[in-house]
Structure 1
């Protein structure tokens, strides 16, 4: 795609092998699961930052697919060996694996020191290793430990790309990282049951009189609706706790960051609209609604950029009018 190639050039990525590594990460996002949401969100970023977002989330998608992909039957031993190779590559600063090569370049480009880089990558890989070992979590605190490895620690790589931060964002960053991942886990309840895993805490299932077998049957009940509502409310609370985070990142990225959070939180709105049914079909945002959210978020960013460049604003005005005409429902 032309815009993607231009983003690589804007980011100063000219080496053909490195460009192909970033493109590999982008294709992973577009091809698998909900990674396309990340790619769409990257279009709202300044072009020089987009490829680095692909690298972080493309790398994560690659190793997630190694564990959970179609036909995947990876063993803990094989996966641990892959992790050891990747960490050795991170230490050396070189890799033959495309997604690791792009990630290593991104970590270097944003001045993440080697010790921190190794720690952040190790956390992410350990989270996926947990998915091969752990099938349920007793308490919310146990889930939060998994979320720290899977989302909170790796989120620091994302914040580096969106930074520099105006002040430390530990609590806000942790809340938003958990909110985003918890939203995914609520949406994926049915898929995770098929994989033999339940991320909703057992203490919550017990509170509402729901068993793992009830979730696996795929039929909504009043008890399951109450359970899902409880988890959706928890996600909303996490978003509220991290609401100030977009104000802490680089001004160039604040608008796109806010738009991304609005987009992702709209999944919770869709779950609520469906009366909390996450079992009969995975909650999704319609293409019309996606386009509306993207346009309404992107038009102010486009206007500010064309104003700085002196380009006429007719295109931005027409896009704004188109956004207003799009339907608000799904």
Structure 2
């Protein structure tokens, strides 16, 4: 907790209501599933950048939870749509009474990011309430770009690229990370009535949507999963140069994230592409080996950090309700 409060101070966030909004985003991450990994990863960033990472991912976590609840209850879809409409207006006006939105607004303004990517993110979530399958990979990409690529570019902005635009590398890395999760969650998503893997791929290997809901593994499913794993591996290769385009103090986090999520693909390969019997996970021993591999570079990176804690030059704390 001390380090988290120190990060808020180093980021120039002093208003009590705004500090609580960022803390709310941090608690969202710590409390829910894979969000803990995002919070732990933020510890690899300079303190003045950490709260902005909480804001972006905390907001995304909040939207995701509300979307899932809307799907499960059915009656909540209208309420979720109304919330999205209000939130888009708040992002435009720069004021919100919702803690996660308030923190996000402050982050966007601090880093001179317009509201459009976040508004587009909400639009795609609304579409996700209606669309449950994607005929082709291009159709999936059209969904993933506003859902994943644009928000990832917002995160990259916080890490201050130093070598020009990160377009191709950033897009490939974002798609690789998300495709990895789609492969891991294929059975769970199917049980929720969603098929994210392109239908053209299912047809290629003679697999039906029902086959992916947790039934027995078949040669066709193994071939399908192997095909998607190879596609994700190719995206990781295309995005491998992204860390070198970022601020030196932020490269460790991106390298760690790419290494960590790519290791899920290794685990899937080790399990002979079985993603139906149990969700692929990374064991503590493997995590420890990755931590050791990253340890020395991260220590050296921290040793080179400036002690000024200046962070972004322009601060803005006007997102609180009046």
* Residue of structure 1 aligned with 2:120, choices 123, 127, 136: 123
Distance 1:69 1:79, change over 3 A: closer
Within 5 A, what are the aligned runs for 1:176-215?
A: 176-215=173-212
Unaligned runs of 5+ in 1: 311-330
C-alpha distance in structure 2 between counterparts of 1:65 and 1:239, whole Å: 28
Q: 1:94 to 1:307 in 2, by over 3 A?
A: closer
Which residue of structure 2 aligns with residue 323 of structure 1?
none
1:12 counterpart SS class: coil
1:259 CA drift (Å) = 1.7
For 2:169, the equivalent position in structure 1 comes to 172
TM-score when scaled to structure 2? 0.89
Equivalent in the alignment of 2:99: 98
* Deviation at residue 304 of structure 1 after TM alignment: 3.9
Q: 2 CA distance for matches of 1:197 and 1:31?
A: 25
Cα distance per residue 1:181-217 (max 9 Å; x no partner)? 1111111111101211010100000000100111114
In the alignment, is the contact (CA less than 8 A) between 1:44 and 1:298 conserved in 2?
no
**DSSP-derived class of the 1:103 partner:** helix
Match of 1:218 among 206, 215, 237: 215
Which structure has more RCO (C-alpha within 8 Å, separation ≥ 6)?
Answer: 2
Task: Please identify, of 298-307 and 199-208, the stretch whose mean Cα deviation from structure 2 is larger.
Answer: 298-307
Q: Deviations over 1:225-246 (max 9, x none)?
A: 1100100110111111112111
TM-superposed deviation, 1:72: 4.7
Distance apart, 1:309 and its partner CA: 8.0
How many equivalent pairs are there?
Answer: 306
Q: Give the equivalent residue in structure 1 for 2:5.
A: 5
TM-score, normalised by the number of residues in structure 1: 0.87
Question: 1:120-269 maps to which residues of 2 (within 5 A)?
Answer: 120-269=117-266
Contact kept, 8 Å, 1:259 with 1:297, in 2: the verdict is yes
Tell me the residue number matched to 2:37: 37
Work out whether residues 28 and 35 of structure 2, in 8 Å CA contact, stay in contact via their aligned partners in 1: yes
Q: Separation in 2 of the partners of 1:80 and 1:309?
A: 44
Contact 2:189 2:195 in 1 (8 A): yes
Tell me, in whole angstroms, the C-alpha distance in 2 between the residues paired with 1:256 and 1:276: 28
Q: Measured at CA, do residues 4 and 291 of structure 1 come closer, stay the same or move farther in structure 2, by a change above 3 Å?
A: farther
